[in-house]
Amino acid sequence: MTQKPPSSRRAGKPQRPDRPAKAPHKSGTRGAKPGTAKPAAAKPSPDGDRIAKVLARAGVASRRDAERMIEAGRVSVNGKKLTSPALNVTDKDRITVDGKAIGTPDHERLWLYHKPSGLVTTNRDEKGRETIFDKLPENLPRVMTVGRLDLNSEGLLLLTNDGGVKRKLELPSTGWLRKYRVRINGRPTDETFAPLRKGIEVEGERFQPMDITLDRQQGANAWVTIGLREGKNREIRRAMEAIGLTVNRLIRTSYGPFQLGQLKPGEVEEVRRRVVRDQLGLEDAVAPETRRKPTRRRR
């Protein structure tokens, strides 16, 4: 008996037509009817700036106070009273506060101010003491301070009209060195400051290592230069007290790239817009300055 070859077993049987291949499954379309699946629409990025930021830039109030004004129903946009600060506005929107249109928001600006000793770095003082805002020039717009200097400290204090700039300058991650000229009572040696160079804990608060240089002895006092990368409340005074020394004068001479220079006590000087843009990475926010090149006169 001879066996038929395997190919002849199906011989004579009708061939089934090839079935069409199944379409590959698409993620997210299981159970959907053909033609009903729609791609997810990308969320458009909001245009403009938050209303509180715009009010602050226009010199109306700080962002926090602006939010309170909005919640109190004092702010309207395009004739509609706001009840929440969660709104972005553009130059095309008409903004009013208590029925009066606000001015055009200003660009980010920064000033150097030589704070004199004896002034409080706050908007209002509960004890009725004079603040730096009592002594600032009248032509200065509404500004806020970058950090603080205590009542008896003096020297460089940065001022800005923009809350974003303020936060950026105050962030510890910025890591800008702040330098101080400090006069202390006593006769310290270079080794006296060893604990402060390593970092010290005062009343449960940890102070980062300080850069300290002993400059000179002047009678009963010594002058030192101190560099910090963070500014905690009365940090230098408290650290010196912890090693048995008393600060009787403290002058901040620089804050990152910004220098006190020859600025006299009480004087204010605006930082050039180009410098602000370059140092703070605000290239898209502030247009470059256009200055005429000086022409040389022939003698």
Cα–Cα distance for residue pair 95/78, rounded to 1 Å = 6
Instruction: Specify the length of the chain in residues.
Output: 299
- Cross-strand pairs, 97: 75, 100
The residue from 49, 150, 211, 278 that is catalytic is 150
Count other Cβ atoms within 10 Å, centred on residue 150.
Answer: 15
Q: To 5 degrees, how large is the angle CA 50–CA 53–CA 56? A: 150
Cα–Cα distance for residue pair 258/112, rounded to 1 Å = 8
3-state secondary structure of 168: helix
Q: Is the distance from CB of 185 to CB of 147 less than 8 angstroms?
A: no
Active site residue 150: yes
Count other Cβ atoms within 10 Å, centred on residue 173.
Answer: 5
Instruction: Count how many Cα atoms sit within 13 Å of the Cα of residue 31 in the half-sphere of its side chain.
Output: 1
- Residues serving a catalytic function are 150
